[in-house]
Amino acid sequence: MPYRVCFVCTGNICRSPMAESVFRARVAEAGLDGLVEVDSAGTDGWHEGDGADPRTVSVLETNGYGSDHAARRFRPEWFSRLDLVIALDSGHLTALRRLAPTPADAEKVRLLRSYDIAAGADLDVPDPYYGGMDGFEECLEMVEAASTGLLAAVREQVEEQAA
């Protein structure tokens, strides 16, 4: 059974689809395709069915990432099939832990930047939606930096499952 990771932000059109695309690429580069499934969702359903924000798509494509996406809202029943739920900021972390049906499910929720040893004390990935392209580029830098540590943690879990 594959190890399943879901990235979650507010509307699932900026940060979480960016993290999904970057991490999916890291998983493929690591040869873990088929062993790790990656997707994303939002804590709210305002944009359900919409594609990613055009600025997200632009930043992803400029940096060599895929950008096929349709926004959706995170559902509490998904916890039972997910191994790791990655929140993009502390507000998402709180909301997701409240949604968790069990304490074990709540423990599956982690902040993305907690996997970046250089992140310091501020572990939130700021929402770039109301700003310019520089915010989306900064978001990508943060996502890429955290993805290295996240991949190492996920690889360890996949190897433990296989043992």
Tens-place pLDDT, residues 74-113? 999 999 999 999 999 999 999 999 999 999 999 999 999 9
- 9 included as an active-site residue: yes
- 14 included as an active-site residue: no
Reported residue count of the chain is 163
71, pLDDT greater than 90:
yes
Phi and psi at 120, nearest 5°, equal 80, -155
What are the pLDDT digits (tens) for 23-38? 999 999 999 999 999 9
Choosing from 72, 73, 97, 127, the catalytic residue is 127
First-residue to last-residue Cα distance in the chain: 13
CATH of domain 3-162: 3.40.50.2300
- 6 included as an active-site residue: no
User: What pTM was computed for the model?
Assistant: 0.97
Choosing from 9, 26, 83, 110, the catalytic residue is 9
The residue extents of the domains of the chain are 3-162
Residue 162 is predicted with a pLDDT of: 82
- Contact by Cβ (8 Å): 47, 11: yes
- The CA-atom distances, in angstroms, between 25 and each of 39, 56, 58, 112, 115 are 12, 16, 16, 16, 17
Choosing from 15, 55, 113, 155, the catalytic residue is 15
- Contact by Cβ (8 Å): 111, 123: yes
